[in-house]
Chain A
Amino acid sequence: MMSRLRLMWRKSLNNVMLTLTGVAAFAVVSVLFLILGYLVWNGGKSLNWDFFTKLPKPVGETGGGMANAIVGSLKLLSLAAAMGLPVGLLAGVYLAEFGGKMFSFVIRYTADLLNGVPSIVIGIFAYSLAVLPVRHFSTLAGGVALGMMVIPITVRSTEEFLRAVPGSMREGAMALGASKWRTIITVVLPAASGGIVTGMLLSLARVAGETAPLLFTAFSNRFWSPGWNQPIASLPVMIYTYAIAPYDDWHRQAWAAGLVLLALVLIANLGCRLVLNRRGAIRSV
């Protein structure tokens, strides 16, 4: 009933398709190495001491660096951390330790929703909150935008790692007379701290590379930006500005900045994920 020909066809189809799947997987992975390779090649050439220490030169002049953008990104990240991490942490504690069923579901759903909002729309929101009322761009506004993006990731990882702490540990503390909040602070949080901290670092690594929300909040700045009320330069925005400009020298600097940004983001991600893998599975996406 089954012809030899048909079996041969089925087997060759089998081999072809399975090979194709392997090709696809390796093609995707090779893109990663391509990206790294290009950035190292093009960016490495242009990376020098000036890049890290000098301010940008006026338009048209060659040379200069992105010192202000590096510092700017750091300032923005610290603002985002100060605003977003506590919210994420405490909300995560609520969801894992105190939450009622319905309300927790709503909070989780909303956090997921916030996570899925396109970053440019977050920028619009931060604009209406922090730029419109005072009629100027500022570091603070940028921090607000990035801070909001930090929250959903932090909430999810905090809750996940708190839940992973075994009930026996909690019961042990409570049996000794510790109240709930004391148990959380002295036993549960420390036990989950590794995972929680890595979750926080991952969220910061993600927003460090964000450009869109900064375009009309922190805007940009060709000089140093003292305080928190002035527009400020950041690495991603500089990369964008320089890449679309018609000057070769600016392109060169964009590659260098791209390499620095990618290196920081990838190292943070690599480190965090390796730590998490050793502790237990990390949910992707």
Chain B
Amino acid sequence: MRAPGLTGMLALALPLAAHHRPVAAQQQPAARVAQAVNADVFAAHLTLLADDALEGRGTGERGGETAAKYLAAQFARLGLEPAGDAGTYYHHIPLVGRRFTSTLRLSADTLVPGEDFVAYLAGTDTMATARGEAVFVGYGIVAPEQRWNDYAGADVRGKIVVALAGTPADQDSALFRDARPEYAFRQYKVDEAARRGAAAALVVYRGGVMPVPWPSIAQSWLGEQVQLDPPARAGSLLIGGWLNEPAARRLVEQGGADFRTLAESAARPGFRAVPLRAALDVGVAARTRRIPAANVVGRLPGRGSLAGEAVVLGAHYDHLGIGAPVAEDSIYNGAVDNASGTAGMLTVAEAMVRGAARPARSVLFVGFGAEEQGLLGSESFVNRPPVPLRQIAAMVNLDALNLTSESRDIAALGAELSSLGSLFRSAAAAEGYRLTPRSSPVLVEAMQQDFFNRSDQAPFARAGVPALFLYAAAHDLVGRPAGAGKAELDRYLERHYHQPSDDLRQGLDPRVAVRQLRVVTRTLLAAANQRSQAVWSANAPYRSAGERRVSRDQ
């Protein structure tokens, strides 16, 4: 198509144009493609995906499978290339559901599952036991930057470790300031114990420390755990779990120590692990079932030397399926969450195809599965990306669009974290939006609730891919009193979020999506066409992950 020999010249010419003059010749196609975003297309997809016939698109349920098939058919209709596994649109999510039954004996004392403890298998074993003397490891934290090591001088190999939930900051606010939040989490403590060679790790639940009441934790662990395939074996570690505080107290007292004293000692710098001189015997069995789940991936091929790279537009298509009825309605349609984002993703795909977008980088359109189970579709995408991560230049996620009223402002979470922010700003301006002020109540809410870490962009960001999350709330709604945007957000979160009433009857206006999707289209095209990949800002927590990503061999 292009005369040989011109390629080099074009490559030279390109950066000039990209940097100095986003010339008309380049902007016009973006405008043309943005203009191809069509309200009928969006409304049709939204209406179908949120219909009761799709049964709430539950993961592992026929409604979810039907939604995946729908996405694949739309990709095929648009002539997108299959970019999933083995020449299909489907990218397998290795999802399992596991139910654990466990026993825990403390010398002659048999503890009650659900009341005193819950335990699970950390690897793929169907059954495991650990017995022997337990070792109290304080908070179970190794944090060099905090000059803290609960394992200093201790050998816990093959042993059962017991660690407190939370961090030393719970007892002494001078400690662990600005520490990584995950030090407080069960998962971190179990992983750390595994790195130390322990056979089992039990985290002590303490009412004053944990925001969630014990019965909720116990209940969730007694039910099915939906997760990605666990690693075959987490080091030597077989078993993880929670120990309720009264049970922990009995354990400590059997060894002749005092629980309170021991717990207090854990918050003192220089703490050393303490053998508890009491034997524990823990056994766990698992029943595992595979849950069919897939991401759906279509590719609009790029042109030229950057075609091997890609930008991703993602939206999770799953929701909660059929569940407990509320007001005689048991279908959790998830119209806003996230039929709207899925419809938006399909609408942008259609606009790019019909608007004859010819991006330099390829565009991957991804419907993520299993988001509601904890971002598992996007996590598995990042674990086993169809395109090497270093070649994924950017990711934009749609999870809930504003379908209430036209707004004067628009926001993308993560905009301040990477150079994608400036592309988004230009795109928003081209569609007549202001950026939502950072101090506006809607964005304050987003920060407080940490929305950026709560949808499918998060695994991408953690893996170093610059990412944006289009925000569903705006500050200033046209024709509405000031602050109406926050009121709309509150109303949705209180009345409809994860309820059967998140359906088409809540009064959604699909036309409001059009301008937002034009901004998304322009942002994606800019990220696909700029010479260099987007980069993280200097102060972004994902910066080092970003550097690792591009330096990775592949």
Partners in one complex: no
